[in-house]
Amino acid sequence: MLQDPNLRHPIAISFGAIAGALSRYYITLWFANRFGTAFPYGTFFINISGCLAMGFVITLAVERVPPVPSEVRLMVATGFLGAYTTFSTYGLETNVLLRDRAYNFAAFYWAGSAILGVIAVQLGIIIARICK
C-alpha cells in the first residue's frame, strides 16, 4: 500500500505542509513581537528566505547525483515551502521563464502577479463588503 506513489506523494506533501505552515506562523509571531507590526517584517523575511530555500532545494534535487527521491523533493518544495510561502514558487517560475528566454512571459508573470494580486485583494475586500 505504501509502495504506491499515489499515496506516498500526498502524504509527503502533507507532512511538509504542516511544518511549513507552523514555521510561517511562529516566525511571523516572532518578528511581530520583536519589531512590531508597522511593517510586515515576518512576511518579508519568509518570502526572501523561502525563495533562497526554493533555489537551493530545486538545484540540489535536479543536479545532485544520486537524485533526491521524489517524496523528499515534494515534501520540501511543494509541502514545506508551499505552505511556508508561495512567493518562493513565484520566484522559481519567474526564473524558469527567464532561463527559457521567455522574457515577455517572465515580465508579465513577474509584474502581473504582483500588481493583479494587490488589485485582487482589494476587489475581494469590496465584494465581501457588498455581500454583508
The rounded distance, in Å, linking the Cα atoms of 18 and 126 is: 31
Q: What is the pLDDT of residue 59?
A: 87
- Backbone φ and ψ of 35, nearest 5°: -120, 0
The confidence band for 16, taking pLDDT boundaries of 50, 70 and 90, is very high
- Tell me, what DSSP letter sits at residue 37? S
Taking all residues of the chain, what is their mean pLDDT, rounded to a whole number?
Answer: 92
